[in-house]
Amino acid sequence: MSRLQYTLWRLIGIVPVMVLITTFAFFLMRAAPGGPFDKEKALPPEIEKNIRAKYHLDDPLIVQYGRYLFSVMRGDLGPSFKYPNRTVNEIIVESFPVSLKLGLLAMCFALFFGLSAGVISALKQNRWQDYTFMGFALFGVSVPNIVLGPLLVLIFGLWLGWLPVAGWESPVDAVLPTITLGAIYVAYISRISRAGILEVLGQDYVTVARAKGLPQRIVVFRHILRGGLLPVVSFLGPAFASILTGSIVVEKIFHIPGLGQHFVQAALNRDYTLAMGTVIFYALILILLNLVVDLLYTFLDPRVRYE
């Protein structure tokens, strides 16, 4: 199977998966008790009737499902129940780029520091550099962002006054959220890359490269990294997806207008369309990211074949 055929096949496979996800999202959402318009102050029956009619909630469930599925197929995720003057598409288009930007910054931060720490630790195995970096990595994995974020805000925002406490207006606003969101991935990447490189270090082709008299820099960048980073690449796909979908805490702490907040809040609000819309959208992102990683893998490791 050629690369193109493989890609096409995978892309076609997305359709049934998405239908399944839409179906699950629809029925799970509807199975949740309560509705989008339940508030502390109960509505008079006349009003409830009007609202149910307006949003077609009085149709049989299966009819609603059919209508929703059809509209999703056309790329229309419907109007939000909570924000009646906005459509779900608009909300995603407006807020996803923010989450994406934050996610990319956090990923770059994680890759830069994670890889540096991983490579140094592997090359200086069991020396003080190794222990220091791996100590930090352990710290990074253990401290959740709900603790790290406020801690950074306290130190750099309130005590030192160097950085804004929250917001998303100027580039400096991104510093603390990036670190908060990326810290745990710095930790993961450094440990994974360290392990990957250690495995490669003992391989014949590295010994051969060294025997050829190549300088350390070339051996590391051309030979060791390429093989040693494979585990990192396969980690990146799910990690990036999890950075994108898991940014809710960071978005809340730093008042960032991203999509993450809607992901959870919409479900709690029973904003059916917005909750289903974000689930469908994230599912698509996840599937596409996995595809990208699979394709990337074959570039890096010629032993991997398409099947």
Contact footprint for another protein (CB under 8 A): 32-35, 37-47, 49-51, 53-55, 79, 82-86, 91, 94-95, 112, 116, 120, 150, 153, 157-158, 161-169, 171-172, 175, 252-255, 257, 261, 268, 270
For another protein, the closer of residues 119 and 280 by Cβ is 119
> Which tokens go with 61?
């469930």
d(CA 72, CA 24): 14
**Minimum distance, C-beta of residue 75 to another protein, in the bound complex (Å):** 19
**Minimum distance, C-beta of residue 44 to another protein, in the bound complex (Å):** 5
For another protein, the closer of residues 35 and 231 by Cβ is 35
Is 31 exposed, middle or buried (CB count within 10 Å of its CB: 0-12, 13-18, 19+)?
A: exposed
Helical ranges in the chain per DSSP H? 3-31, 45-54, 61-73, 88-123, 128-142, 145-152, 175-201, 204-211, 216-218, 225-228, 230-245, 248-253, 260-269, 272-300
Residue 39 bridge partners (DSSP): none
For another protein, the closer of residues 179 and 201 by Cβ is 179
**Minimum distance, C-beta of residue 72 to another protein, in the bound complex (Å):** 20
Q: Do the beta carbons of residue 118 and residue 192 sit within 8 Å?
A: yes
**Minimum distance, C-beta of residue 3 to another protein, in the bound complex (Å):** 33
For another protein, the closer of residues 22 and 178 by Cβ is 178
**Minimum distance, C-beta of residue 235 to another protein, in the bound complex (Å):** 21
For another protein, the closer of residues 58 and 301 by Cβ is 58
d(CA 39, CA 168): 31
**Minimum distance, C-beta of residue 38 to another protein, in the bound complex (Å):** 5
83: helix, coil or strand?
coil
d(CA 86, CA 63): 23
d(CA 150, CA 49): 45
For another protein, the closer of residues 85 and 126 by Cβ is 85
d(CA 255, CA 168): 7
For another protein, the closer of residues 91 and 206 by Cβ is 91
Neighbouring CB atoms inside 10 A of 253's CB total 21
**Minimum distance, C-beta of residue 84 to another protein, in the bound complex (Å):** 5
What is the DSSP secondary structure assignment for residue 155, as one 8-state letter?
A: I
> Which tokens go with 120?
């140094």
